[in-house]
Amino acid sequence: MAELFVIGIGLFLFVLLGTIYVATQRYKLAPSDQILVVYGNVKNKQSAECIHGGGKIVWPLIQHYAYLSLRPMTLNIPLKHALSKQNIRINVPSSFTIGISTEPSIMQNAATRLLGLPQSDIEKLAEDIIFGQLRLTVASLTIEQVNQDRDSFLRIVFTNVDTELHKLGLYLINVNVVDITDERQYIESIGTKAAETAVNEALVETAIARSTGELGQAKADREREVGVAQNSAESEKGQKEAEVNRRVFVMQQEAMGKQGENVAAAEIADFEADLIVKQADARKRAEVAQRNAQKDIESAQYELEGERLRALEVVREEVSKKTVEIAAEAEAERQRRIARGQADATLARYQAEAEGTRAVLEAKAVGYQKLVASAGGDAKAAATLLMVEKMEELVARQTEAISNLKIDKITVWDSGNGGANGEGGSTSNFISSLMQSLPPVHDVAKMAGVELPEYLGRVKED
């Protein structure tokens, strides 16, 4: 029993030490800049188990492991010719900083879709997603919304891109838009218009402030002059009263008092006249300033309207020019097609005529060949047969030659006694001579190199 107990204790220690050794050799830690991905036979029947900020024993034969880097990746996205909501194409070059997320659900997507891929392939996948989402975002906004409210534009881009990157296990760290431009200088025109509007508003505010300042100054001057006049009048009045008090007689005191009042009234009248003049001058200057400001505003509006009309005229001229060019090209193409059709018709007609002529010649050649064969191969006999066939036509042509003679009148002097030696008279001799003037049939055949057969008659020798 003691021996069995010792053996059991030894086996237990051996298994324990072996387990500790395997555990220490197969225990894998996840560095702070990496995710440990254990795949194979893992818990919860998942495809992989992701660990960040810890470690795990990777059991041999049933499990394996790999790492995903958490280092950020910067992508330059040179988006060009993106179509905005106003159908104006703009350029939005930007840079995006992305990385693999450590959120459990997103990290699981990274283990499923990115494990084992090189960084270049991961960046290519992210670029495709960013390009698509950036184009969709630009297409949903106007140029004013993209250019003037950059913060809202970046928030929308961030939300759209980040949501799509989560499907790969990535997330968006930062986005920067370098500059926004367009081929039609629409954005530059917006800036120019805003600057001119600000300048015009500043001019108007300056004119209003100047007018207000001048009115305030005039009011202050008027109050000061009124105070001085009142003080002077009171002082003068006190002096007059003191002078009157020094007078012994009541009449002299009243007279001097009346004189003081008259002087004070005259001075007050002068002050009021000066005040009216100054008020009129202040109003005049304010009206001039206001009119100048209005003039500047109208001038700026006139210039802007002129620029707009000139731009509209340029566009109209371009459209008219394009219309004329398209019409000219269409007419030229129509003429070219008509010319090609006529040329094809002429060529077809000539080809048909050539085919007909060739068919006639081939038929004649076949007929001549058969005719020579029927004559026993004697070409001369075949030619004689052809000449005999045409004899009737030759005689008809000779007759036609006489019948077509136009003789208005024939006068024959004949004594009626007949010719000498029993010959005919002059009339019969004329007819006989006319008939003899026609070439005999045998002579015509000889001219063609053909000797007629004897059954057609023979030429009488002299």
| 323 belongs to a structural domain | no
| 327 belongs to a structural domain | no
Considering only residues 147 and 250, tell me which one the structure prediction assigns the higher pLDDT: 147
How many domains, the chain?
Answer: 4
Supply the pLDDT for residue 462.
Answer: 46
Considering only residues 255 and 345, tell me which one the structure prediction assigns the higher pLDDT: 345
- The pLDDT tens digits of the residues spanning 75-125 come to 999 988 888 888 888 888 999 999 999 998 899 999 989 998 999 999 999
- 129-138, 231-240, 424-433 — which one is most confidently predicted on average? 129-138
Q: Where is the domain boundary, 147, 163, 184? A: 184
Whether residue 176 sits in one domain with residue 143: yes
Whether residue 156 sits in one domain with residue 263: no
Q: How much is the average pLDDT of 121-144?
A: 91
| 31 belongs to a structural domain | yes
Supply the pLDDT for residue 164.
Answer: 93
175 phi and psi angles, rounded to 5 deg: -140, 135
| 345 belongs to a structural domain | no
Residue in 127, 97, 112 with CA at minimum distance from that of residue 168:
112
Whether residue 203 sits in one domain with residue 163: no
Whether residue 170 sits in one domain with residue 258: no
Q: Where is the domain boundary, 281, 312, 343? A: 312
Whether residue 50 sits in one domain with residue 23: yes
| 362 belongs to a structural domain | no
Whether residue 180 sits in one domain with residue 104: yes
Whether residue 200 sits in one domain with residue 302: yes
| 285 belongs to a structural domain | yes
Whether residue 103 sits in one domain with residue 127: yes
List the domain range (segments joined by +) for residue 84: 71-184
| 410 belongs to a structural domain | no
| 199 belongs to a structural domain | yes
Whether residue 134 sits in one domain with residue 87: yes
- The pLDDT tens digits of the residues spanning 319-376 come to 788 888 888 888 888 888 888 888 888 888 888 888 888 888 888 778 777 877 877 7
Whether residue 270 sits in one domain with residue 225: yes
Q: Where is the domain boundary, 122, 150, 184? A: 184
Whether residue 76 sits in one domain with residue 27: no
Whether residue 125 sits in one domain with residue 60: no
